[in-house]
Structure 1
Amino acid sequence: MSINDNILIKIREMRDSFTPVERMVGDYILENTEEIPHLSIKELAQGSKTSDASVLRFCKTMGYSGYRQFIVSISASLGSRDEDIKAQYTDIRPGDELSTIISNISLNNMKSIEDTLSVIDRVEIARAVDLLCSSKRIAFFGVGASGLIAMDGQQKFSRINKICHAYTDAHSQLTAATLLTEEDTAIFISNSGITIDILDALETAQKNKATCIAITKYNRSALAERADIVLSISTPEITMRSGAMGSRIAMLTVIDILFAGVASVDYENIKKYLTQTHNIVTRKLKL
């Protein structure tokens, strides 16, 4: 179950991984959202030029046992749609005033976090936190912008005395994955979920029986399908680099959630490490 379930966001995010028939159903729903709660399964099938069976399969793909449950979720999601329409992602445009850029980028980042709350699964978060608490080592894997997220994870978890490291290039990732064991946890970070270097390292880590967590876009990607635990994010559907900004903020939020979750479980002991690391850095600044 997601923290703030919104089926419309899930359909939007999964669109690229739908089969052609699923995409016909999904597109019709997104284009005719207000009408959907009033349609029977047959009417939705006719409107999307598919079949009753195809609509039912679509509902199950989206995680629902039947059409009625799916329609109830659509109705619930419509409650926040008016605000969602007012707050669409905005791309970088030539000649924008600085005040407009400030507003748009801030809105994109806030919306990326809000949409991520609609797709991330709290059960999977709990599993990940339990696993990280008991892991002997934590290895973060990411390439490019995702590598920065991996480094942030290393910085945070090292502060609470967790043995961890971030690997951001293909060679070091394969080397590190080869040395993982069943006592270790590997966190693979990739927005697309199809980065070859990440998938190669994942395969190697799993051969060595390390448990693998994926932080990736809500989609049926190779990474999401192969990982043991999937923590999904929602990212903007825009073309320029503001898209990478949104995914970065969403991924950093997931790292923060995991860090706070682990710190909270054994707070009395972890508080000591946080105090020690804070004090040593503070003394350094005063020199």
Structure 2
Amino acid sequence: MSNMNGGLVMLSEMHRDLPPSEKKIAKYIMENPHEAISLTASELGKRSSTSSAAVIRLCKSLGLKGFQDLKLRIAGDLQKSKAPGFRDIEPNESAASIIEKMTNNSIQTIHETAELLDHEALERAKIACQNAEMIHFFGVGASSIIAQDAQQKFLRIAKKATAFQDFHIAATMVANAKPTDVVVGISFSGKTYEVAKILELANKKDAQTISLTKYGSSLVSDQADIRLYTSVTREPTFRSGATSSRIAQLHVIDILFMCVASQIYEETVKHLDETREIIEIIRDNIKPRKK
């Protein structure tokens, strides 16, 4: 990753899935971030009743180069103004309060997702999609909406793309994929079996695979050549986090699309103008005529 912040977000989102010793270190850092960035790996191991080896393993679990990388990111986090935190809605809450909470939740999710995006992985995904003969997007349930949004965006710049909601049809399409194709599996949890199987099938056909999941190793991301992540949201009651996760996924798709579009800027503008023009013509032709 190229960002110089996001360390505390990584620790928070990976905490529950870490082994016991690494979990103790993560907990200590999150509770004492200012102190942690001044310690060596050996000192942090002692303070957290673990070891320097466990500190190194934690950094590896986070996908970082080493403890220095983690300290730099945490130092960057400490320079930021404190966010209000995720807040869920309550019974009989006013519209004004819900507007404020949902807006803050969405903004924070987008910021945390930006911090988790690996610039090198994004660059690889951009090149893969730019050079792809066909891009297949696949997600189940709410993630299928993200796949359809991605398909619509790339079709508008003349990139061949599919986004079948039916698993069997998607599997049939990917079974005929070529090495020049790209298959994008979308699953917020990273645990969606159907998405993992689609990527597994794509790998057997030597197509390039991209995953879009919450941060961390998962059934889906483990099948992908290129892994893109969104932030984990934490609202438990009405799962307003499901709203934030959708926004985070759309945000990453928008970023990927813009990265591709910027590389073929003149061509993109031409295609967007052409599609906009044809939609306007169609819209004008179906307007009811005044009697």
Q: TM-score range by the shorter chain?
A: over 0.9
Q: Residue 79 of structure 2 corresponds to which residue in structure 1? A: 79
Identity %: 37
Q: 1:5 to 1:35 in 2, by over 3 A?
A: closer
Query: Shift in Å at residue 283 of structure 1?
Result: 1.9
Distance 1:29 1:270 in 2: 45
Instruction: Please give the per-residue CA displacement for 1:153-184, whole angstroms capped at 9, x wherever unaligned.
Output: 01111111111110223222222221211010
Q: Residue 114 of structure 2 corresponds to which residue in structure 1? A: 117
* Count of aligned residue pairs for this structure pair: 284
Q: Residue 204 of structure 2 corresponds to which residue in structure 1? A: 207
Distance 1:188 1:67 in 2: 31
Q: Residue 268 of structure 1 corresponds to which residue in structure 2? A: 266
Q: 1:167 to 1:17 in 2, by over 3 A?
A: farther
Runs of at least 5 residues in structure 1 that lack an aligned partner in the other structure: none
Amino acid at match of 1:179: N
3-state secondary structure, aligned to 1:187: strand
Q: 1:2 to 1:14 in 2, by over 3 A?
A: farther
Contact preservation (8 Å) 2:112, 2:231: yes
Distance 1:110 1:137 in 2: 33
Query: Shift in Å at residue 57 of structure 1?
Result: 2.1
Question: Structure 1 residue 285 and structure 2 residue 283: aligned?
Answer: yes
Q: 1:265 to 1:221 in 2, by over 3 A?
A: same
Q: 1:205 to 1:29 in 2, by over 3 A?
A: same
Q: Residue 145 of structure 1 corresponds to which residue in structure 2? A: 142
Q: Residue 174 of structure 1 corresponds to which residue in structure 2? A: 171
Distance 2:39 2:100 in 1: 38
Contact preservation (8 Å) 2:7, 2:77: yes
Q: 1:67 to 1:15 in 2, by over 3 A?
A: same
Q: Which moves more between the two structures, 204-213 or 258-267?
A: 258-267
Query: Shift in Å at residue 226 of structure 1?
Result: 2.1
Q: Residue 288 of structure 2 corresponds to which residue in structure 1? A: none
Q: Residue 224 of structure 1 corresponds to which residue in structure 2? A: 221
With the length of structure 2 as denominator, give the TM-score of the two structures. 0.91
Q: Residue 87 of structure 2 corresponds to which residue in structure 1? A: 90
Contact preservation (8 Å) 2:62, 2:216: no
Amino acid at match of 1:231: L
Q: Residue 154 of structure 1 corresponds to which residue in structure 2? A: 151
Q: Residue 52 of structure 2 corresponds to which residue in structure 1? A: 52
Distance 1:131 1:62 in 2: 25
Query: Shift in Å at residue 120 of structure 1?
Result: 0.3
Question: Structure 1 residue 108 and structure 2 residue 105: aligned?
Answer: yes
Distance 1:67 1:108 in 2: 30
Query: Shift in Å at residue 187 of structure 1?
Result: 0.7
Q: 1:262 to 1:52 in 2, by over 3 A?
A: closer
Q: 1:232 to 1:100 in 2, by over 3 A?
A: same
Query: Shift in Å at residue 69 of structure 1?
Result: 4.3
3-state secondary structure, aligned to 1:222: coil
Contact preservation (8 Å) 2:192, 2:219: no
Query: Shift in Å at residue 230 of structure 1?
Result: 0.7
Which one has more relative contact order, counting CA pairs under 8 Å at least 6 apart? 1
Distance 1:201 1:62 in 2: 26
Contact preservation (8 Å) 1:174, 1:201: yes
Q: 1:183 to 1:88 in 2, by over 3 A?
A: same
Query: Shift in Å at residue 236 of structure 1?
Result: 1.4
3-state secondary structure, aligned to 1:162: coil
* RMSD of aligned alpha carbons: 1.8
Runs of at least 5 residues in structure 2 that lack an aligned partner in the other structure: 286-291
Q: 1:42 to 1:241 in 2, by over 3 A?
A: same
